[in-house]
Amino acid sequence: ATQSISAGPTGRVVVVTGAARGIGRAIAERFVADGDRVATIYRGGDLPKGVEAYVADVTDSTAVDAAFAAIEKDMGPVEVLVANAGVTKDQLLMRMSDEEFESVVDVNLTGTFRCVRRASKGMIRARKGRIVLLGSIVGLSGGPGQVNYSSSKAALVGMVRSITRELGTRGITANVVAPGYVETDMTAALSDDVRSHYLKTIPAGRFATPDEIAAVVSFVASDAAGYVTGAVIPVDGGLGMG
């Protein structure tokens, strides 16, 4: 049998959080195109064709657990989790409130933890699983006005490394895919000045498309990537080099 590097085996149950727009949407579309069965845990809105909707906020543990239980009942054991839901709330350090810090951590870090904790149950039972977390190059390099966001994304590195140490012998991998700047609603808010400043610092000379992030997530989630674990994989046009 031949094994494709880009496409996973077909028919797996894949959960992508926050698949209504941006990177999550592109990831969900990619798994659907590869023949997987895709569910999203999300806050509502229009979804790509073929994606099953389960409404929950990742800040709500009970709702997250209920969504996973419903997915398992309707679709079967979850083999791939892509924790994509994330937010920014930029503010200068000295002005940042507890609420601005904690609300970003609650979605990006604790929200990811809630999904990983629940998804790993079935993966441990099946002795098989792929956990892919959306980090950010900002989690490695930092960003002005982003103490909350960069802290939340940096912590995901420790998370995948702990998961790898705990579950590495059970056929489960856990990795961070760390995009640089991507053309989505999250970056559409940047001023022209800031955008042109970033463009000068990116060796590729442009932002990524969401599809370029989805392609790497697809590989990390594939059977072919069974020995890639505890890794941080930048997809950043060279932004984070050196």
Interatomic CA distance for residues 3 and 135, integer angstroms: 28
Buried b / exposed e over 9-35, threshold 16 CB at 10 Å, is eeebbbbbbbbbbbbbbbbbbbbbebe
Of 89 and 170, the one with the shorter C-beta distance to ligand NAD is 89
Interatomic CA distance for residues 62 and 69, integer angstroms: 11
Interatomic CA distance for residues 133 and 179, integer angstroms: 11
Q: Among residues 149, 181, 198, 227, which one is catalytic?
A: 149
Asked if 148 is part of the footprint of ligand NAD (rule: CB under 6 A), the reply reads no
Asked if 221 is part of the footprint of ligand NAD (rule: CB under 6 A), the reply reads no
Asked if 82 is part of the footprint of ligand NAD (rule: CB under 6 A), the reply reads no
Q: Which of residues 31-50 bind ligand NAD (CB under 6 A)?
A: 42-43
The token pair that represents 94 in the structure block: 């000295």
Asked if 107 is part of the footprint of ligand NAD (rule: CB under 6 A), the reply reads yes
Q: Which of residues 156-195 bind ligand NAD (CB under 6 A)?
A: 179, 181-182, 184-187
Asked if 131 is part of the footprint of ligand NAD (rule: CB under 6 A), the reply reads no
Is the separation of the CB atoms in 186 and 22 below 8 Å? yes
- Based on the residue annotation, tell me whether 198 is a catalytic residue of this protein: no
Chain positions contacting ligand NAD, by CB under 6 A: 17-18, 20-24, 42-43, 57-59, 84-87, 107, 111, 134, 136, 179, 181-182, 184-187
Which positions are catalytic?
149
